[in-house]
Amino acid sequence: MTSSNTGISDDQLFMSLAADLVTQAWVAMGKLKNPITDKLESNLQASALLIDMLDMLSRKTEGRRSDEETQMLKDNLQQLKLNYVAEQQTVDSKPAEEPPLVDTTEEAEKTDTESDGDDPTDEAAENASGS
């Protein structure tokens, strides 16, 4: 266990880094509020990247971590992956967004009032009304 220039041990720095990445992944998944916007915001692509980073960190440090560090990484990765799959399934099962409904009432009124007289139905309507 070596110390950094700040006097914090490498073990503490490792745990802090891993915990920060885990927290960022939860925020990106929309499970924790974004501390900047104070809102739940989901970005599954960012979440997947953070999970991949934690996986890489786990692989690269294999055999050099304490039991506590190993368990923390394993538990958090398992929970993140399970939640990511659930979120992805939720997104995939949502119907595609429908285009906004257009109010055709105004368009129909414009068409009726802008008639140029060439339409035989306009003449019939005018004749029927006694014009």
pLDDT of res. 131: 47
Stronger pLDDT, 125 or 45, i.e. the higher one: 45
* The dihedral sign for the CA sequence 107, 112, 114, 116: positive
Distance CA 39, CA 33 (A): 5
Q: Is this model's pTM higher than 0.85 or not?
A: no
Q: Which two tokens stand for residue 101?
A: 């409904």
Write out pLDDT tens, residues 41-86: 999 999 999 999 999 999 999 999 999 999 999 999 999 999 999 9
pLDDT-based confidence at 95, cuts 50/70/90?
confident
Spans of all domains in the chain: 10-93
